[in-house]
């Protein structure tokens, strides 16, 4: 075969390389020989002294199968574990590496049999197939070479074509490419991440978008561009249809999410990258797959779970696009879904979930997923138990296998025995009874036994929480975390968009009071469009009101939208500022708010409040009380700063107790001062939703508790069974105790006095 086909000369470099590799693949001959030739071609094209190809074998071993430039005797002798050395890292992380001096890399693993000591720079990419790493391809140079992005791209494109050869069955038995435990048939319990509570019992329905992309390299790029355009417009049409479908007609959060999703589908950057891959010589379908693989690999580096979840939205969209390009449905036959299905998927976009008849589904199990995933939010709206982060689960199941999803504990049982099945049937039944028990409390008041009213409010971030507030007949929204909406958008929402949002919330609240908290971003909550620095201590960094006061337009625009929504709905609203650390900050923020109220024409009542989350402000509490309309205790942050204990660090989560004498004394001081000044105070941190903690808060003098909606039933039951006078008499003397925690004593009091905690 001619080494360099004549027509290749006029092509751009990546397409030329790709065309040569394609010709080599199609050229016949033993697979190993073709692999050798590909290594040669790639080395020559990228002007590298070495090109090596490793294939993944059973037991997570990467074996050198071909090399140009390393010692030939190393072939089949050099073996690395996944995660060992840089080659192993590329496989473990499924992402490219480009290192000017690989030998200085902490994970460099020197293999004398290869003779690689002469080579300093290294660029390697994973060979991916069906989302699984099946090998690694790497080039090396003697000099300290800085490989550029285009070279990385080129190598990735070649790796994609190479994947077909590796998986073709000639080099190794394809069974070796399956995960180690293959298809098990024994009962198994696996732990994942709780994404939505509840118990689902049913049969596995495996969602495996399984597209066979047969043509990777394009003959006519213009034609491929045209195919892509057509597929894109068909896909947009289908998504628009979905938004107007019956399921979505009742509006709510799931509709908002689909709208965001549709915006992502129109993302010009995504389209551009696919077009570039086509211009580099791939077919439209291969280009879609290639951009998706690349995005997945890049996102592995990103730690923000919200952003990582957006990959799933893109995955969902990519599968849709492939469906339009290839004209075949993705994996499962949706119409055949039987009643009682548990959907098993690697990842799932919100629209994919809605493709199913969700009334027939009993639960969802995902290999990936985080609580911020759009699909988790949709599942919550549909009341489907969902467990995520169960890597490899799709390979451990067969279609129709019995399965239990225990969303409450974030675990899944595959092919459970009769005894486990029965236990869960009983649990599901008792959960239903418990729900009915709490539902029976809905029309009842949340007054204590000795007649004190305790206002129970909801912490919200989504429309669905507002709907819950109405359903639970609770007293309003005590904390609306506005940042959640901002985090769901790819760009800063305009004042008009924000106004619509707040307007919808106020309407859904049906006249019950709503307390909006202005943007509390920074720390773990990042916005893709807001530049922030890498901070050593982000929770004590540039966040919350600190950002708002440095970027006052952001704050003013948000408050303008709130004020407009309040005027339009004739609602009285409360606005509070997060992380207020000194009175002066509150004064500036309130000044900005009053300006917005005035410039919108006044005539509405907007209350301004502060969150108590930083211990420093407690030393100015008297002065603050003269200036605020209300206060809200963010006990999550207040405790983390009081105890100097990262609230997200699991090692420290049990170290100090919210019911310690110190914490309770601090809270007692806040309640006393607020009550004396006649300023309403709410506790809106997690402790307000825990019956025992909530009991202590009532004992300290708090009468307004704001919590996630599942806490309302249990806290109401506790309050109704509580004699506050008796609790006060018991608790106050204990505040000076030197004990680590009063939790045990308070629990004993509850038990002795018949308080339901
Ligand atoms: C808190 O800190 O207690 C609080 C309610 O705010 P967030 O949890 O949103 O930080
Ligand atoms: Mg907070």
Residues 342-394: pLDDT tens digits?
A: 999 887 776 677 777 778 899 999 988 776 566 776 777 677 899 998 887 88
Report, as an integer, the average pLDDT of 719-731.
98
- Give the mean pLDDT of the chain: 87
∠ CA 662-666-672, rounded to 5° = 140
Exposure string (b/e) for 104-134, b if CB count within 10 Å is 16 or more?
eeeeeeebeebbbeebbbbbbbbbbbebbbb
pLDDT digits (tens, 9 = 90+) for 227-254: 999 999 988 888 787 777 655 555 565 6
pLDDT digits (tens, 9 = 90+) for 46-86: 999 999 999 999 888 999 999 999 999 999 999 999 889 99
Q: Ligand 1, residues 578, 640, 663: which to mutate, most atoms within 8 A of Cβ? A: 578
Q: Using CA atoms, how far apart are residues 184 and 231, in angstroms rounded to an integer?
A: 38
Which residue intervals of 600-660 are DSSP H helices? 621-625, 635-642
Ligand 1 nearest atom to the CA of residue 613, by list position: 2
Is residue 209 over pLDDT 50?
Answer: yes
Q: Alpha carbon 48 to chain centroid distance?
A: 40
Strand partners, 202: 403
pLDDT band at 217 (very low <50, low <70, confident <90, very high): confident
pLDDT band at 300 (very low <50, low <70, confident <90, very high): low
Residue 229 belongs to what H/E stretch? helix 221-243
pLDDT band at 309 (very low <50, low <70, confident <90, very high): low
Residue scoring higher pLDDT (222 or 185): 222
What do you get for the CA distance between the two ends of the chain, in Å?
A: 80
CA 101 / ligand 2 centre spacing (Å): 44
Return the top range by mean pLDDT from 108-112, 320-324, 634-638: 634-638
pLDDT of residue 522: 79
pLDDT of residue 426: 87
pLDDT of residue 224: 94
Ligand 1 nearest atom to the CA of residue 481, by list position: 9
Ligand 1 nearest atom to the CA of residue 684, by list position: 5
Q: For 178-221, list the strands marked E by DSSP.
A: 188-191, 193-196, 199-207
CA 673 / ligand 1 centre spacing (Å): 21
* Sheet containing strand 132-141, strands side by side: 79-81, 61-68, 50-57, 132-141, 121-129, 97-99
Q: Using CA atoms, how far apart are residues 736 and 371, in angstroms rounded to an integer?
A: 40
Residue nearest to atom 3 of ligand 1 (CA): 634
Ligand 1 nearest atom to the CA of residue 520, by list position: 9
DSSP string, 233-266: HHHHHHHHHHHTSHHHHT-SHHHHHHHHHHHHHT
CA 579 / ligand 2 centre spacing (Å): 7
Is residue 185 over pLDDT 60?
Answer: no
Report, as an integer, the average pLDDT of 478-499.
85
Contacts of 303 (CB under 8 A, 6+ apart): none
Q: Using CA atoms, how far apart are residues 392 and 203, in angstroms rounded to an integer?
A: 18
> Which ligand neighbours the alpha carbon of 632 most closely?
1
pLDDT of residue 96: 86
CA 648 / ligand 1 centre spacing (Å): 12
Ligand 1 nearest atom to the CA of residue 686, by list position: 3
Residue nearest to atom 9 of ligand 1 (CA): 481
> Which ligand neighbours the alpha carbon of 636 most closely?
1
pLDDT band at 510 (very low <50, low <70, confident <90, very high): very high
Residue scoring higher pLDDT (467 or 327): 467
Is residue 3 over pLDDT 50?
Answer: no
Asked whether the beta carbons of 177 and 169 are under 8 A apart, the reply is no
Q: Domains of the chain (ranges plus CATH)? A: 14-177 (3.30.450.40), 188-209+332-438 (3.50.30.10), 221-326 (1.10.274.10)
Any residues with Cβ below 6 Å from ligand 1, and which? 479, 481, 520, 613, 634-637, 684-685
Residue scoring higher pLDDT (689 or 246): 689
Q: Cα–Cα distances in Å, from 521 out to 18, 374, 482, 560, 690?
A: 45, 19, 9, 18, 25
Percent of the chain exceeding pLDDT 70 equals 89
Residue 374: active-site member? yes
pLDDT of residue 371: 65
∠ CA 256-261-263, rounded to 5° = 100
Strand partners, 499: none
CA 491 / ligand 1 centre spacing (Å): 24
Taking every pair of Cα atoms in the chain, the longest distance, rounded to a whole number of angstroms, is 95
pLDDT band at 130 (very low <50, low <70, confident <90, very high): low
pLDDT of residue 381: 66
Q: Ligand 1, residues 541, 610, 612, 685: which to mutate, most atoms within 8 A of Cβ? A: 685
Which of the following is catalytic: 207, 312, 374, 674?
374
Ligand 1 nearest atom to the CA of residue 637, by list position: 2
Is residue 207 over pLDDT 90?
Answer: no
Residue nearest to atom 4 of ligand 1 (CA): 634
> Which ligand neighbours the alpha carbon of 648 most closely?
1
CA 105 / ligand 1 centre spacing (Å): 40
- Around ion ligand 2, residues with a beta carbon closer than 5 Å are 613, 634, 637
pLDDT band at 407 (very low <50, low <70, confident <90, very high): very high
Residue nearest to atom 1 of ligand 1 (CA): 634
> Which ligand neighbours the alpha carbon of 481 most closely?
1
pLDDT of residue 2: 39
Residue 324: active-site member? no
Is residue 509 over pLDDT 50?
Answer: yes
CA 650 / ligand 1 centre spacing (Å): 17
> Which ligand neighbours the alpha carbon of 478 most closely?
1
Ligand 1 nearest atom to the CA of residue 634, by list position: 3
pLDDT band at 183 (very low <50, low <70, confident <90, very high): very low
DSSP string, 719-749: HHT--HHHHHHHHGGGGG--SS-SHHHHHHH
Is residue 600 over pLDDT 90?
Answer: yes
Asked whether the beta carbons of 121 and 100 are under 8 A apart, the reply is yes
CA 479 / ligand 1 centre spacing (Å): 9
pLDDT of residue 4: 42
Asked whether the beta carbons of 715 and 707 are under 8 A apart, the reply is yes
CA 257 / ligand 2 centre spacing (Å): 25
pLDDT of residue 453: 97
Taking each continuous run of H as one helix and of E as one strand, the counts in the chain are: 26, 22
């Amino acid at each position: 075969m001619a080494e360099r086909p004549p027509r290749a000369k006029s092509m751009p470099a990546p397409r030329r390389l790709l065309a040569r590799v394609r010709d080599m693949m199609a050229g016949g001959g033993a697979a190993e020989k073709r692999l050798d030739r590909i290594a040669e071609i790639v080395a020559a094209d990228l002007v590298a002294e070495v090109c090596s190809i490793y294939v993944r074998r059973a037991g997570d071993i990467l074996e050198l199968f071909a090399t140009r430039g390393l010692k030939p005797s190393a072939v089949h002798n050099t073996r690395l574990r996944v995660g060992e050395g840089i080659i192993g890292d590329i496989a473990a992380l499924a992402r490219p590496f480009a290192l000017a001096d690989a030998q200085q890399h902490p994970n460099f693993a020197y293999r004398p049999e290869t003779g690689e000591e002469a080579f300093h720079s290294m660029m390697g990419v994973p060979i991916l197939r069906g989302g699984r790493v099946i090998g690694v391809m790497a080039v090396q140079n003697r000099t300290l070479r800085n490989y550029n992005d285009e070279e990385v791209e080129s190598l990735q494109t070649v790796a994609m074509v190479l994947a077909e050869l590796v998986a073709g069955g000639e080099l190794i038995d394809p069974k070796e490419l399956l995960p180690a435990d293959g298809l098990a048939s024994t009962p198994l319990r696996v732990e994942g991440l709780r994404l939505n509570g509840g118990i689902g019992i049913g049969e596995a329905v495996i969602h495996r978008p399984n597209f066979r992309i047969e043509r990777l390299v394009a003959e006519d790029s213009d034609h491929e561009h045209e195919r892509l355009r057509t597929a894109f417009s068909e896909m947009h049409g289908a998504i628009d249809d979905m938004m107007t479908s019956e399921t979505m007609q009742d509006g709510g959060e799931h509709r908002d999410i689909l709208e965001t999703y549709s915006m992502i589908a129109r993302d010009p950057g995504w389209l551009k990258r696919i077009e570039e891959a086509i211009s580099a010589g791939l077919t439209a379908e291969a280009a879609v797959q290639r951009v998706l693989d690349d995005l997945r690999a890049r996102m592995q580096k990103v730690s923000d779970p919200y952003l990582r979840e957006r990959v799933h939205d893109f995955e969902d969209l990519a599968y849709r696009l492939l469906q339009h390009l290839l004209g075949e449905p993705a994996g499962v036959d949706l119409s055949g879904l039987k009643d009682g299905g548990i959907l098993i998927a690697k990842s799932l976009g919100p629209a994919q979930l809605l493709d199913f008849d969700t009334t027939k589904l009993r639960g969802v199990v995902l290999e990936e997923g985080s609580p911020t995933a759009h699909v988790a939010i949709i599942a919550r709206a549909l009341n489907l138990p969902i467990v995520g982060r169960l890597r490899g689960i799709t390979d451990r199941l067969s279609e129709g296998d019995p399965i239990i999803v225990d969303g409450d504990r974030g675990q899944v049982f595959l092919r459970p025995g009769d005894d486990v099945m029965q236990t869960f049937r009983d649990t599901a039944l008792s959960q239903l009874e418990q729900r009915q028990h709490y539902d029976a409390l809905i029309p009842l008041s949340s007054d204590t036994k000795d007649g004190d009213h305790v206002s129970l409010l909801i912490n919200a971030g989504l429309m669905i929480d507002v709907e819950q507030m109405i359903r639970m007949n609770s007293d309003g929204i005590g904390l609306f975390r506005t940042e959640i909406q901002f985090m769901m958008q790819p760009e800063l929402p305009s004042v008009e968009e924000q106004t619509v949002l707040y307007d919808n919330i106020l309407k859904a609240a049906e006249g019950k009071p709503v307390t909006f908290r202005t943007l509390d971003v920074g720390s773990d909550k990042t916005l893709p469009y807001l530049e922030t620095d890498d901070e050593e201590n982000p929770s004590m960094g540039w966040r919350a009101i600190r950002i708002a006061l440095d970027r006052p337009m952001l704050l003013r625009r948000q408050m303008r939208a709130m004020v407009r929504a309040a005027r339009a709905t004739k609602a009285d609203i409360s606005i509070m500022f997060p992380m207020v650390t000194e009175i002066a900050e509150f004064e500036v923020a309130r000044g900005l708010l009053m300006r917005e109220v005035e410039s919108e024409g006044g005539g509405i009542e907007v209350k301004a409040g502060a969150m108590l989350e930083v211990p420093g402000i407690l030393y100015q509490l008297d002065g603050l009380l003269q200036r605020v309309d209300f206060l809200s205790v963010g006990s999550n942050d207040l405790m983390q700063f009081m105890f100097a204990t990262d609230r997200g660090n699991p090692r420290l989560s049990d170290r100090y107790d919210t019911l310690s004498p110190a914490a309770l004394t601090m809270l007692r001081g806040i309640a006393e001062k607020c009550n004396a000044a006649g300023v309403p105070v709410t506790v809106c941190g997690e402790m307000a939703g825990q019956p025992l903690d909530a009991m202590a808060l009532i004992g300290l003098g708090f009468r307004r508790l704001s919590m996630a909606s599942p806490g309302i039933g249990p806290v109401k039951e506790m309050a109704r069974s509580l004699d506050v006078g008796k609790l006060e008499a018991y608790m106050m003397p204990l505040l000076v105790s030197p004990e680590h925690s009063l939790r045990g004593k308070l629990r004993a009091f509850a038990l002795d006095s018949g308080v339901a905690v």
